[in-house]
Chains A and B, each alone.
Chain A
Amino acid sequence: MQSLGVEVLFKGKNFARLMGGMWTALKISLVSIAISMVLGLLLGMLVSRKNRVLRGVMRCYLEFIHIMPQMVLLFLVFFGTSKAFGWNLSGELSSVIVFSLWGTAEMSDLVRGAVTSVPKIQYESAMALGMTPAQVNRYVILPQAVRRLIPQSINLITRMIKTTSLVLMVGVVEILKVAQQIIEANRKASPNAAFGVYLTVFLLYFLLCWPVSLLAKHLEKRWG
């Protein structure tokens, strides 16, 4: 049997480097996810009000993020801002900015969908009980909306984690780049390393995303 090439991972500091790359990817996604969830929730609530100007602006923002591939956004923020304004953003910071912009846009759209899907009678009943609009949101609408949000926002979170594989294009050495470096440095000694190393990367991504899916299932059961 041919070797799978996993042995290159145990040479020198290779395994620690791969874990370091995973931590970099995780850090970028965790920070961006936290920002996206908070901002997305706020913006989503705002948009579900019937303010036409606000809706128009948000619509533009959303469409812009939707039609732009994440790679283009990364280049725009990393290289574009230093060309246009002379800002020297690091690769990590650019990635967090792009992922937060993207996550916030999608999250606010999900929140808007969830909030508007709460039947109108819920608002009317709550108002009839003498609640203020803030109380209606806090105690009646949000708890119902959040429940509807879980499946799609979990989907968004796992997509954000997986898309961090693009940030190698702005010089961030994350898990996939470390994997490519290891394969390349050992191509002569272990020509099969590509299989073993990519298999390991697959398992690591799985380990990152699987707990998120489990949490989602758990929450859906508890709140469902």
Chain B
Amino acid sequence: MKKATIKVTAILVLLVLALASLASAGAEGGKVYRTLDEIKESGKINIGVFSDKNPFGYVDENGEYQGYDVYFARRIGKDLGVEVNFVSTEAANRVEYLETGKVDIILANFTVTAERAEKVDFALPYMNVALGVVSPKSRVIRDLSEIGAEDQVIVISGTTAEDYLIKNNPEIQLQKYDTYANAKTALENGSAVAWANDNTEVIAFALENEGYEVGIPSLGSQDTIAPAVSKGNETLLAWINEEIIALAEEKFFHADYEATLVDTYGLDYEESLVLEGGGQAK
């Protein structure tokens, strides 16, 4: 290495370190989120949803957001008396959106995990979920042990399926995608033997596409899906929790299921997927 290059590299490393320390110092002071009153005052709430995850959060042909999460988001806006500004998020940047206060709530099929709970605050859950694995009918994977050393499994970056496989089955080769659309297209193109994701996602995929079967319908532990707010945003969190409990009265999430999910899953999965009042009011 030339002397000049070494110098430049050294200066760069110092610069990055300085920036990093600046960033951490900034994060400690001052809150990033907006309180309930501030949101009401502004007349607008920013809610992060998926825009390419049919039927949970997607955009229809008229450019309108639709889906199970979106249905709930609209109700939140209505009951708060504010306009909802939908922000298109990806699985990989949901936590960052909350950590920086760029959205007030994430309603993007966000599975509750201990790891995520260190960075964001989850409200009461509104749906059940486990992991599932879908594969082509020509070679259905019924157990993870059937996946050979040469085979690859599709996962989406930043999802619980990715975490689970890395932690519990590090021998399995993963093929990672940033968007749902690309992951599904890759599976259809046969670039991997299976796709691991939330079981809601893979069941929907197998029901919608000929020639695929969910060989492993439930992998790992039963998890829940919940709204999330920035760490420490207590006023908003408390309001959402009250809202979810109050909505159990009218069986809101059953209505939500019947409006958005029934076309995909049929009525068979309604009781196993839907959670009312955070599961406490049963």
Contact = CB atoms under 8 A, between A and B. Distances in A.
Interface in B52-83: 52-54, 58-63, 66
Given A79-B99, A84-B26, A183-B181, A188 B208 contact: yes
Nearest to B208: A188
B46 to A, nearest CB: 10
Interface stretch (B87-95, B132-140, B247-255, B271-279): B87-95
B26 A177 contact: no
Interface stretch (B8-16, B123-131, B166-174): B8-16
Interface stretch (A6-14, A38-46, A143-151, A214-222): A6-14
Contact of A64 (B15, B27, B97, B188): B15
B113 interface: no
Given A60-B12, A173-B51, A185-B54, A13 B62 contact: yes
A82 B32 contact: yes
A168 B90 contact: yes
Interface string A176-189: 01001111111110
B178 interface: yes
A133 interface: no
B181 A184 contact: yes
A176 B62 CA distance: 17
B58 A185 contact: yes
Contacts of B182: 180
B195 interface: no
Contacts of B142: none
Interface in B133-181: 178-181
Contacts of B63: 12-13, 17
Interface of B: 8-9, 11-12, 15, 19, 22-23, 26-27, 30, 32, 51-54, 58-63, 66, 87-90, 92-93, 96-97, 99-102, 178-182, 184-185, 188, 208-209, 264
6 nearest CB pairs, A to B: A12-B61, A180-B181, A84-B23, A184-B52, A82-B100, A84-B26
